[in-house]
A = this chain, B = another copy of it.
Amino acid sequence: MTEPVATVLRPRLTHQGALILLQAAIRKADEMLLPQCIAIVDEGANLLAFVRMDGAKLLSEQPTMRKAMTAASDRVPTGDKDAALGDKLASASDGRIVNLKGGLPVIVDGHVIGGIGVGSGTGEQDRIIANAALAAFPGATTFDYV
């Protein structure tokens, strides 16, 4: 029998890294004239950085944070689940697992190091802005939302 592996070395998202994502998302949102709530969480789905831009929807704060959390947990973009499954998981997680578009995992070297959530626009707009943030992050995997 092999020895149990008690710890592993993994990349961790820093607050400076989170601010890179935040600033890049703000730039893209400004460019698209779409004020947004933007949330960055780490691998543990804990909040690292947040901004609510002037004109963004106030009550998008929580859904935006949960998009980031869900993306970090699921390791895939949010909002593509079957509707019935999405509803069940939302209920079973007290609303924390969301099935709204606009959350993307932050993946570097194949490791999920966090998530970004964007909210206030349509799901498609939110995804484009989140993806533009990933494109500004050194080594991060991007998606097909442009």
Q: Which chain A residues have a beta carbon within 8 Å of chain B's beta carbons?
A: 4-20, 26, 42-54, 57-63, 66-67, 69-70, 72-75, 83-100, 108, 113, 137-139
A86 to chain B, nearest CB (A): 7
Whether A10 lies near B10 (C-beta < 8 A) is yes
Cα separation A11 to B10 with both chains bound (whole Å): 6
- Contact: A13 with B20, CB < 8 Å? no
Q: How many copies does the complex hold?
A: 4
Residues of B within 8 A of A108 (CB): 7
Which listed residue, B42, B60, B94, touches A62 by the CB 8 Å rule?
A: B94
Could you give 29 example pairs across A and B, Cβ below 8 Å?
A4-B19, A7-B13, A7-B108, A7-B113, A7-B138, A8-B11, A14-B54, A15-B53, A15-B54, A16-B54, A43-B44, A45-B59, A46-B61, A49-B49, A58-B72, A59-B93, A59-B97, A60-B73, A62-B93, A63-B92, A63-B97, A87-B87, A88-B99, A88-B100, A90-B92, A91-B91, A91-B98, A92-B100, A94-B95
